[in-house]
Amino acid sequence: MPRKPAQSNPAVGIVPVVRNEVVPLVRDDSIQSLILTVRGAPVLLDRDLATLYGVPTKALNQAVKRNAERFPPDFMFQLTREECSRSQIVTMNAGRGSNLKYLPYAFTENGVAMLSGVLRSSTAVEVNIRIMRAFVAMRRFLVANAEVFRRIETVEHRQTATETKVDEVLARLDSGEPPPRGVFFAGQLWDARSLVEGLVARAKTSILLIDSWVGPGTLDILAKKRTGVAARIVTSQKGNKIAATDIATFNAQYPTLSVQVSKAFHDRFLVLDDKELYLVGASLKDLGARCFAFSKMDASAIPDIKSRI
């Protein structure tokens, strides 16, 4: 009975040739896309290697088991269920959800090199040469871009740390208790303003703001105070952008506000009810425009600060 011609597999580039052999036509870039990083090492999974070699996965693993002494743990290892789940490289049982049919084996570069001797075919040798080239190309890429990867990792770490700190600040505000200190970065306009508005809203009798640069934006924040709370601004002659008409308009709706000039201060302070003292690293009108810090200070310094106005 005549032998059926071999069928092409466009997914892996397998075509029939003379002598009924099946020779994979493998591109180096397609191999690189199959290389994974597991346990800190670049590896290829048994099922992907079997596809590249044109043999069943079971046959490849059986050949390896018959030569187990050639594959120490740094050449080949079996993935755990956790690694399979995390890397999304599991083989599923049909119709059985996420149950694993088997845990795949991962081959390092040395393990792949050893496979050509185990499989003993011209196809295996040719494929191995291409796989080795793919590993080398990936190493060169990682070395050439190591600094870029380091910077990306640093940025991600900083972003995560920043988001954590902001979440802590906002959580404190939600609980009614402001954080003792914190840092806001450029662009966090809403979060920074929410913090200071929350502090202003805490005052029950009086607010004292010492800020060398003030303007209508400062009044927008002070408008969040409770009814009947007296607000007092101490600023510099040069930095005062609040007109007399602004004060009159503000007092018509949110009494009472007073503004005076002093040369005694460089830093910005916010005093609530003569009981809470905050050092604010940015003018209220510019909150979130650039990186700044804030900190709750010892209230015992309030009388000395007020005496120097």
Q: What is the residue range of 54's domain?
A: 14-144
Are residue 200 and residue 248 in the same domain, yes or no? yes
**What is the tens place of the pLDDT at every residue in 121-150?**
667 777 878 887 777 777 776 666 666 656
Count of domains observed in the chain: 2
Are residue 110 and residue 189 in the same domain, yes or no? no
Q: Full-prediction pTM beyond 0.75?
A: no
Rounded Cα distance between 44 and 174, Å, is 49
Are residue 59 and residue 177 in the same domain, yes or no? no
State the pLDDT at residue 162: 63
% of the chain residues with pLDDT over 70: 72
Beta-carbon contacts of 131 under 8 Å, excluding residues fewer than 6 positions away, are 26, 31, 44, 52, 112
Helices (H), the chain: 28-32, 46-53, 57-66, 81-87, 109-119, 122-144, 146-174, 189-202, 216-222, 244-253, 302-307
Are residue 97 and residue 179 in the same domain, yes or no? no
Are residue 205 and residue 126 in the same domain, yes or no? no
Are residue 123 and residue 246 in the same domain, yes or no? no
9 within a domain of the structure (yes/no):
no
**What is the tens place of the pLDDT at every residue in 82-117?**
888 764 555 433 333 445 678 899 999 889 888 877
Name the β-bridge partners of 277.
271, 297
**What is the tens place of the pLDDT at every residue in 168-197?**
666 655 555 677 888 888 888 888 898 899
Are residue 47 and residue 114 in the same domain, yes or no? yes
Rounded Cα distance between 198 and 287, Å, is 14
State the pLDDT at residue 27: 54
What's the CATH number where 254 sits?
3.30.870.10
Q: Which of 144, 174, 209 is the last residue of a domain?
A: 144
210 within a domain of the structure (yes/no):
yes
65 within a domain of the structure (yes/no):
yes
Please tell me the chain's helix, strand, coil percentages from 3-state DSSP, rounded to the nearest 5: 45, 20, 35
284 within a domain of the structure (yes/no):
yes
Are residue 302 and residue 169 in the same domain, yes or no? yes
CB 165 within 8 A of CB 182: yes
Are residue 236 and residue 268 in the same domain, yes or no? yes
- Which one, of 141, 154, 139, lies nearest residue 41 by Cα? 139
Q: Find out whether the peptide bond into 256 is cis, omega within 30 degrees of 0.
A: yes
Are residue 25 and residue 91 in the same domain, yes or no? yes
CB 108 within 8 A of CB 41: yes
Are residue 93 and residue 200 in the same domain, yes or no? no
